[in-house]
């Protein structure tokens, strides 16, 4: 007989997870229109009030390259304001439980984060990124891998001295849009290097949607065999083939407990055109059609995990409402199906029932709940040719 208990089949699979929101940073960086500062503040604060405790809200790199983050200080100021702290307190949210992150990429961004921390508005955590495939890494950072590792080591020490954590991202684990896949063993080595130089945690990123479920399971099983502390690992999946939910499931089965996504599945490579002007971004796009890129959709990810009975800490309905508002913000239909169709209701939708079933059963002499004709056996009998031998 097969084992039917899912958690016995996958004993590493968690009963509780952390889901981080990176909409206001990664989600908005891909759009070719500037999202207002007010909207950024609204979505960041509302996601926290809906249950998010780990939120990534801006990029502290050069705003000439990515002007969509030219309001970074204003957004950080709003999240550090007494007014917002009071809102959290009124809703029973311990403000000190929040982890507010900002992407830095290069040392100048780290220096800026530290200066903002000294002003009382800086992030709790920064992110730097390496790609296992060096051409992709060079496109993102402008450095070789050895150069960047030395810079990252310096930056981690600076952050530690300033009371800021540093997350190290490992990208192109399952593939690169420039030079193709590297080995999973190499990616495990990259993750280990981040911890060796003092990173607080590691984001394992599928930055172009290359991952497949078997390879995700294999990689995260390798990671947890090497580095078993699950609190150190974040799964970051992109969509190009609409299979990120399969990757999420495979990561859960391997034992990963921390995921991140964006409302509506927004995000991807930084825009190289904003409003009415070309901007540097990270150069030419890796894709032909922006409709088919983006991150794991947070609404659908949350519903998937919620319906598996895994604890997550979010108000699901509030997040689905935010997803519907986001479609108005960006001006077009986004990827979330859950935001439109809602969750699966175990009680069904009795308002759609056709009248007359009860009377018809009574007329036929059937009792309520009767499912088989009166002369049939109470248990179905499987014909001999179909039985297990």
3-state secondary structure 143-206: CCHHHHHHHHHHHHHHHHHHCCEEEEEEECCCCCCCCCCCCHHHHHHHHHHHHHCCCCEEEEEE
Q: Is 198 exposed, middle or buried (0-12, 13-18, 19+ CB in 10 A)?
A: middle
Residue 195 · residue 154 · CB < 8 Å? no
Q: Is 36 exposed, middle or buried (0-12, 13-18, 19+ CB in 10 A)?
A: exposed
CA angle 178, 246, 7 (to 5 degrees): 135
- pLDDT of 241 reads 84
pLDDT digits (tens, 9 = 90+) for 308-330: 999 999 999 999 999 999 999 99
Q: Which CATH number fits domain 14-341: 3.30.70.260, 3.40.1190.20, 3.30.9.90, 3.20.20.70?
A: 3.20.20.70
Which pairs count as long-range contacts for 156-160, CB under 8 Å and 24+ apart, including other chains?
156/197, 156/198, 156/199, 157/198, 158/110, 158/111, 158/114, 159/110, 159/113, 159/114, 159/126, 160/198
Q: Is 370 exposed, middle or buried (0-12, 13-18, 19+ CB in 10 A)?
A: exposed
Separation of alpha carbons 353 and 177, rounded Å: 50
Backbone angles phi, psi at 26, to 5 degrees: -65, -35
CB atoms within 10 A of CB 14: 17
CB atoms within 10 A of CB 131: 27
pLDDT digits (tens, 9 = 90+) for 54-102: 999 999 999 999 999 999 999 999 999 999 999 999 999 999 999 999 9
Give every residue of the chain whose pLDDT is below 50, as ranges: none
Separation of alpha carbons 136 and 282, rounded Å: 10
**Per-domain boundaries in the chain:** 14-341
- pLDDT of 103 reads 97
pTM of structure: 0.94
Separation of alpha carbons 269 and 287, rounded Å: 9
């Amino acid at each position: 007989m097969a084992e039917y208990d899912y958690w016995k089949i996958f004993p590493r699979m968690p009963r509780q997870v952390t889901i981080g929101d990176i909409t206001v940073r990664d989600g908005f960086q891909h759009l070719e229109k500037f999202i207002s500062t007010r909207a950024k503040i609204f979505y960041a604060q509302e996601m926290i009030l809906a249950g998010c405790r780990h939120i990534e809200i801006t990029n502290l790199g050069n705003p000439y390259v990515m002007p969509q983050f030219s309001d970074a200080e204003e957004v950080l100021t709003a999240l550090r304001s007494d007014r917002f702290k009071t809102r959290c307190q009124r809703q029973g949210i311990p403000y000190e439980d929040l982890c507010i992150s900002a992407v830095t990429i290069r040392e100048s961004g780290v220096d800026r984060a530290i200066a903002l921390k000294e002003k009382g508005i800086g992030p709790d955590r920064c992110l730097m990124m390496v790609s296992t495939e060096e051409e992709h890494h060079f496109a993102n950072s402008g450095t070789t891998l050895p150069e960047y590792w030395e810079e990252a080591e310096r930056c981690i020490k600076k952050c530690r001295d300033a009371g800021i954590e540093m997350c190290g991202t490992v990208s192109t684990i399952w593939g690169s849009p420039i030079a193709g896949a590297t080995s999973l063993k190499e990616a495990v080595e990259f993750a280990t290097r981040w911890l060796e130089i003092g990173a607080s945690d590691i984001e394992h990123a599928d930055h172009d949607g290359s991952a497949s479920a078997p390879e995700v399971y294999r990689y995260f099983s390798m990671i947890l065999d090497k580095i078993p502390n699950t609190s150190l690992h974040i799964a970051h999946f992109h969509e190009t083939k609409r299979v990120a939910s399969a990757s999420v499931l495979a990561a859960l089965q391997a034992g990963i407990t921390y995921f991140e996504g964006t409302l509506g599945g927004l995000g991807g490579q930084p825009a190289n055109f904003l409003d009415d002007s070309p901007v540097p971004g990270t150069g030419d796009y890796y894709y032909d059609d922006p409709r088919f890129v983006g991150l794991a959709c947070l609404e659908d990810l949350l519903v998937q995990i919620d319906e598996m009975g895994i604890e997550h800490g979010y108000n699901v309905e509030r997040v689905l409402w935010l997803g519907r508002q986001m479609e108005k913000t960006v001006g077009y239909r986004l990827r979330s199906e859950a935001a439109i169709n809602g969750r699966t209701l175990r009680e069904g939708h009795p308002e759609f029932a056709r009248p007359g079933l009860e009377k018809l059963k009574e007329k036929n002499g059937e009792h309520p709940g009767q499912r088989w004709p009166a002369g049939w056996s109470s248990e179905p009998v499987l014909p001999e040719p179909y039985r297990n031998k």
